[in-house]
């Protein structure tokens, strides 16, 4: 009776946990879809350069791309698969691409047709139409220090290959590198490695480029980085000062020919194929030119009175110099937020952050988290939807617009902020003019078409290698059993009389070795979790290879355990561990491959539902009556939310008739509102048809989500079985040790 109560308690606990987990997951998915819709409708200054792309035919829903992305809200799991929620927040880390075990994530080029700030470059980063002129780093519209160093090293190798076997004329450098930031430094080291003659120029007196202008103690590198002649840097994270010091030490160690305080004007291509590089310190000649400057260039001005006053700064080098002051920071990017955070940490400062947008949607996750904490503490005040109109000697005049408004006509409120110092962090104007004079085109028509992802990736899902390994292992064990069939086919009592019994029994000689190897296979199998979650710093190797190993070692562990048990597991801790391994193998197979089929249908229908919403918006907009359009869309949105998110699975099964009644009631209200508004019959019929189709899609989507969740229960069960197996295995090993099998002739 007591076992029945314990069993009932465990079952109820698991059922309650599963129900709670399901509810939390639904709310999370609903928020993710709402965030995606909000991001899609948000007005942005320019389209993102790079956007992640999820191949739903491959995505298994493991979530590694979501957890590996350093930026907040770019990717989320929706209906068991990865989905792009906020493409505008992607800055090109490409961790999601590297971590995906099945190659379902790629970085593709965004819609750049309307952007005139992206240079036209070929696949080797050479300016289109100007051979020998290369761009590296942030100016290529690719952010991150790691990307710049990879580009610099690659361009150096490309130039070395192009100039191989030739010598530069007297007075002509092989390469002139403009910009001594991370990209320029990597290119210089690469040129040194390949034996090229070069010179490294920068408008700043020290190596570091834009990084040298960052605030003190700013964390500027959080990714592993490699440099030619240096290799991989020892640390994963560097502050500004230590990184600048490291770069300077590397430049001195390798005797890089660096010239500081040199301003670049343009590079002119000559008839003989060489370049003349114009600077404020004279002319230089080179066979190739690499421009590795940043995009910030000259700080952007606000165009308001007072921005030339002495207490107005366009950069922050040392926040500690400001204490006990009222400070205003203008801007909403990472630079502005980091400046506000640094100033707020100083004693006695009151910091106000002024931003013209309604939210900070392009800042990094770490900055967002820190900013939210400071806002909650009251150490920073943020004025959103706010424009600066004038900067005075001790104040800043601003106009705060209503949400979605545009200026005083939309209810703007004039405010005056006290300011002892003002920091304008509104970005900068990149040196596009110098590049255009050098032969770089920014015409979208000159940009080569972005490479399209292959229709059939060669990497696959890792299924074939795992199946081959499983086949070989099973064949080997089958051969072993057939070889000793005269022992394994006997009953346990009859085996004891055979000489082989001492060799093959579970607690002696080979039988015990099989058990030890099975335990090692289990440990290797569980090591996959270390790599997937990057626990204990385990980051080496591709996740795809680790997943294949995970599958293979799972089967090997079952086979070795079966032989260890002499092909007849008993009702002991070891026997229960074996059956737990078998259950893990079955549930793992379901979660690994069969489970991946349903989410493809679910997310595909989610995209279809979004398209139907857009059709409904177009149909109501065509009517011309904004009040009816808003009301009709609100009715349909409420209907979809009830069917997709609010109803439970049993409720949907039992209320099929009720679903149609709910639809009929909504359509009746929409028709009545349309007739009241004087909408034509044809236009109203189009709205009704969109509503009916969207309702059907929402119902189907909800049913698919329920079925996906049901299949997902196998994965949830897989995790609990893994824990149970580990505990039972530990009991089995402890029992074996207490019985002394390792010291009474079992192993030695």
Average pLDDT over residues 736-743: 70
What does the pLDDT look like over 175-216, one tens digit per residue? 999 999 999 999 999 999 999 999 999 988 889 877 766 666
Structural domains in the chain, sorted by start = 24-109 (3.30.70.20), 133-295 (3.50.50.60), 300-424 (3.50.50.60), 463-595+725-739 (no CATH), 597-712 (no CATH)
The pLDDT score that the predictor gives to residue 455 is 46
- CA separation, residue 367 to residues 38, 373, 497 (Å): 21, 10, 73
457-479 residues labelled b (16+ CB within 10 A) or e (exposed): eeeebbeebbeebbeebeeebee
For residue 400, give both structure tokens.
């705060």
Distance CA 22, CA 715 (A): 13
The whole-number average pLDDT for the span 476-487 is: 93
Secondary structure (DSSP) of 63-130: -HHHHH-SSTTSEEEETTEEEES-GGG-----HHHHH-TTS-EEEEE---TT-SSS--B-TTSBBTT-
User: Using 50, 70 and 90 to split pLDDT, how confident is the model at 659?
Assistant: low
The structure tokens listed for 691 are 């509503």
Measured distance CA(524)–CA(603) in Å, rounded? 34
- The three state secondary structure string of 300-321 is CCCCCCCCCCCCEECCCCCHHH
| Residues 29-38: tens digit of each pLDDT | 878 877 777 7
Q: At what angle do helices 240-253 and 182-193 cross, to 10 degrees?
A: 20
Q: How large is the average pLDDT for residues 670-697?
A: 83
Note the pLDDT tens digit of each residue in 138-189: 888 777 788 899 999 999 999 999 999 999 999 999 999 999 999 999 999 9
Q: What is the reported pLDDT for 3?
A: 61
Q: Which of 590-604, 627-641, 701-715 has the lowest mean pLDDT?
A: 590-604
On whether the CB atoms of residues 290 and 136 are closer than 8 A, the answer is yes
> What confidence tens digit (pLDDT) does each residue in 377-417 have?
999 999 999 999 999 999 999 999 986 554 444 558 999 99
Q: What is the DSSP string of 435-450?
A: HHHHT----GGGSPPP
Q: What does the pLDDT look like over 439-453, one tens digit per residue?
A: 999 888 888 776 555
Asked if the model's pLDDT at residue 1 lies above 50, the reply is: no
Question: Is 109 a residue whose pLDDT tops 80?
Answer: no
In the prediction, which pLDDT does 572 show? Answer: 87
Least confident of 223-227, 522-526, 543-547, 706-710: 706-710
- Residue 407: the pLDDT is 44
How far is residue 665's CA from residue 627's CA, in Å, rounded to a whole number? 20
pLDDT, tens digit, for every residue of 224-236?
Answer: 788 999 998 878 7
**pLDDT at residue 79, rounded to an integer:** 77
Of 424, 218, 210, 422, nearest in space to 322 by CA: 422
Q: Where are the alpha helices (DSSP H) in 565-596?
A: 573-592
Pairing mode of beta strands 326-330, 421-424: parallel
Tell me, letter by letter, the H, E, C secondary structure of 636-667: HHHHHHHHHHHCCHHHHHHCHHHHHHHHHHHH
Residue carrying structure tokens 């002139």:
176
Angle between helices 365-377 and 334-344 (to 10 degrees): 40
Task: Give every CB contact of residue 186 below 8 A, 6+ residues apart in sequence.
Answer: 136, 148, 149, 150, 151, 152, 153, 156, 227, 228
Q: Enumerate long-range contacts of 457-464, CB under 8 Å, 24 or more apart.
A: 457/58, 457/103, 459/102, 459/103, 459/544, 460/102, 460/103, 461/58, 461/60, 461/101, 461/102, 461/593, 462/101, 462/102, 462/544, 462/545, 462/547, 462/548, 462/551, 463/593
Q: What is the mean pLDDT of residues 327-334?
A: 93
Distance CA 184, CA 186 (A): 5
Check residues 152 and 238 and name the one with the higher pLDDT: 152
Here the tokens at position 633 are: 């869309």
The residue among 639 and 203 whose pLDDT is bigger is 203
Average pLDDT over residues 356-379: 86
**Long-range CB pairs of 219-225, under 8 A, 24+ apart, other chains included:** 220/145, 221/145, 221/146, 222/70, 223/93, 223/144, 223/145, 223/146, 224/146, 225/145, 225/146, 225/149, 225/182
Tell me how far apart the alpha carbons of residues 111 and 535 are, in angstroms, rounded to a whole number: 37
Q: What is the DSSP letter of 467?
A: H
pLDDT tens figures, 269-328: 999 999 999 999 999 999 999 999 887 666 888 999 999 899 999 888 788 889 999 999
pLDDT at 45 over 50: yes
The per-residue pLDDT for range 454-471, each reduced to its tens digit, is: 444 444 455 566 677 778
**∠ CA 364-370-374, rounded to 5°:** 140
For position 459, what pLDDT does the model report? Answer: 44
Residue whose pair of structure tokens reads 């078998």 in the numeric block? 582
The more confident residue out of 238 and 199 is: 199
Cα 714 to chain center, whole Å? 27
pLDDT averaged over the chain?
82
Percentages helix, strand, coil for the chain, rounded to the nearest 5? Answer: 50, 15, 35
pTM recorded for the entire structure: 0.63
Contact status, residue 342 vs residue 370, Cβ threshold 8 Å:
no
Q: Select the more confidently predicted residue: 514 or 619.
A: 514
Banded model confidence at residue 592, pLDDT cuts 50, 70, 90: low
> What is the C-alpha to C-alpha distance for residues 233 and 513, in angstroms, rounded to an integer?
43
**pLDDT (tens digit per residue) in 484-510:** 999 998 988 899 889 999 999 998 889
Q: What six digits make up the tokens of 90?
A: 């992607």
Per-residue pLDDT at 27 exceeds 90: no
What is the mean predicted confidence (pLDDT) over 596-623? 67
Q: Which tokens hold the place of 27?
A: 């709310």
Instruction: Look at residue 22 and tell me whether its pLDDT is greater than 50.
Output: yes
Mean pLDDT for 74-96 is 82
Mean pLDDT, range 110-126, rounded to an integer = 83
pLDDT band at 748 (very low <50, low <70, confident <90, very high): very low
Is 729's pLDDT higher than 60? Answer: yes
Top pLDDT among 313 and 14 is at 313
User: What is the predicted pLDDT for the residue at 743?
Assistant: 53
* pLDDT at res. 747: 45
Position 43 pLDDT exceeds 70:
no
Distance from C-alpha of 411 to C-alpha of 406, rounded to nearest angstrom: 8
């Amino acid at each position: 009776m007591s076992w029945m109560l314990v069993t009932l308690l465990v079952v109820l606990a698991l059922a309650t946990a599963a129900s709670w987990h399901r509810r939390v997951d639904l709310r999370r998915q609903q928020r993710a879809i709402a965030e995606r819709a909000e991001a899609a409708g948000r007005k942005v200054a320019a389209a993102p350069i790079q956007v992640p792309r999820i191949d739903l035919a491959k995505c298994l829903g493991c979530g590694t791309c979501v957890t590996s992305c350093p930026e907040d809200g770019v990717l989320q799991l929706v209906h068991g698969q990865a989905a792009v929620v906020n493409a505008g927040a992607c800055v090109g880390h490409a961790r999601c691409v590297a971590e995906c075990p099945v190659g379902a994530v790629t970085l593709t080029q965004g819609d750049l047709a309307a952007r005139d700030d992206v240079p036209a470059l070929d696949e080797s980063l050479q300016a289109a139409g100007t051979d020998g002129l290369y761009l590296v780093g942030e100016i290529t519209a690719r952010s991150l220090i790691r990307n710049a160093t990879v580009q610099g090293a690659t361009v150096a190798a490309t130039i070395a290959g192009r100039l191989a076997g030739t010598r530069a004329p007297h007075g002509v450098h092989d390469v002139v590198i403009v910009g001594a930031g991370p990209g320029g430094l990597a290119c210089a080291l690469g040129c040194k490695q390949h034996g090229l003659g070069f010179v490294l120029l920068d408008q700043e007196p020290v190596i570091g480029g834009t990084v040298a202008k960052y605030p003190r103690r700013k964390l500027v590198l959080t990714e592993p980085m490699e440099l030619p002649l240096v290799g991989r840097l020892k640390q994963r994270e560097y502050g500004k000062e230590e990184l600048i010091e490291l770069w300077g030490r590397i430049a001195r160690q390798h005797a890089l020919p660096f010239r500081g305080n040199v301003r670049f004007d343009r590079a002119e291509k000559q008839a003989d194929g060489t370049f003349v590089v114009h600077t404020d310190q004279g002319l230089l000649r080179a066979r190739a030119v690499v421009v590795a400057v940043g995009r910030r260039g000259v700080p952007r001005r606000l165009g308001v009175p007072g921005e030339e006053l002495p207490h107005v700064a366009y950069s922050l080098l040392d926040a500690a110099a400001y204490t006990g002051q009222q400070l205003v920071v203008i801007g909403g990017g990472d630079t502005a937020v980091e400046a506000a955070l640094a100033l707020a940490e100083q004693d006695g400062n009151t910091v106000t952050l002024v931003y013209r947008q309604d939210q900070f949607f392009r800042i990094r996750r770490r900055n967002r988290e820190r900013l939210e904490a400071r806002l909650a503490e009251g150490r920073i005040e943020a004025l959103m939807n706010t424009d600066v109109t004038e900067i005075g000697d001790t104040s800043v005049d601003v106009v705060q617009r209503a949400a979605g408004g545009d200026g005083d006509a939309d209810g703007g409120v004039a405010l005056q902020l006290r300011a002892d110092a003002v920091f304008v962090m509104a970005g900068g104007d990149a040196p596009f003019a110098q590049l255009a004079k050098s032969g770089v085109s920014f015409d979208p028509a000159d940009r080569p078409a972005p490479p399209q992802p292959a229709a059939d990736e060669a990497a696959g899902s890792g299924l074939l290698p795992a199946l081959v390994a499983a086949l070989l292992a099973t064949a080997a064990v089958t051969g072993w059993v057939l070889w000793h069939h005269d022992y394994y086919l006997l009953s346990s009592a009859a085996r004891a009389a055979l000489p082989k019994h001492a060799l093959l029994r579970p607690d002696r000689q080979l039988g015990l070795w099989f058990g030890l190897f099975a335990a090692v296979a289990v440990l290797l199998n569980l090591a996959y979790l270390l790599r997937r979650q990057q626990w204990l710093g385990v980051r080496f190797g591709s996740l795809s290879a680790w997943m294949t190993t995970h599958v293979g070692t799972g089967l090997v562990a079952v086979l070795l355990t079966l032989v260890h048990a002499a092909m007849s597991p008993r009702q002991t801790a070891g026997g229960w561990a074996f059956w737990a391994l078998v259950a893990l193998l079955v549930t793992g197979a379901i979660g690994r491959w069969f489970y991946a089929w349903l989410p493809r249908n679910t997310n595909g229908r989610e995209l279809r539902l979004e398209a139907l919403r857009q059709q409904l918006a177009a149909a109501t907009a065509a009517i011309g009556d904004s009040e009816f359009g808003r009301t009709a869309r609100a009715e349909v949105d409420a209907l979809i939310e009830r069917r997709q998110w609010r109803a439970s699975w049993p409720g949907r099964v039992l209320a099929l008739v009720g679903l149609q009644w709910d639809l009929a009631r909504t359509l009746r209200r929409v028709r009545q509102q349309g007739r009241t508004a004087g909408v034509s019959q044809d236009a109203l019929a189009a709205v009704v048809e969109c509503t009916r189709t969207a309702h059907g899609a929402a119902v189907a989507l909800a049913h698919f989500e329920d079925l996906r969740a049901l299949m997902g229960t196998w994965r949830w069960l897989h995790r609990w079985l893994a824990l149970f197996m580990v505990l039972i295995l530990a009991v089995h090993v402890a029992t074996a040790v207490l019985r002394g099998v390792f010291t009474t002739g079992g192993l030695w």
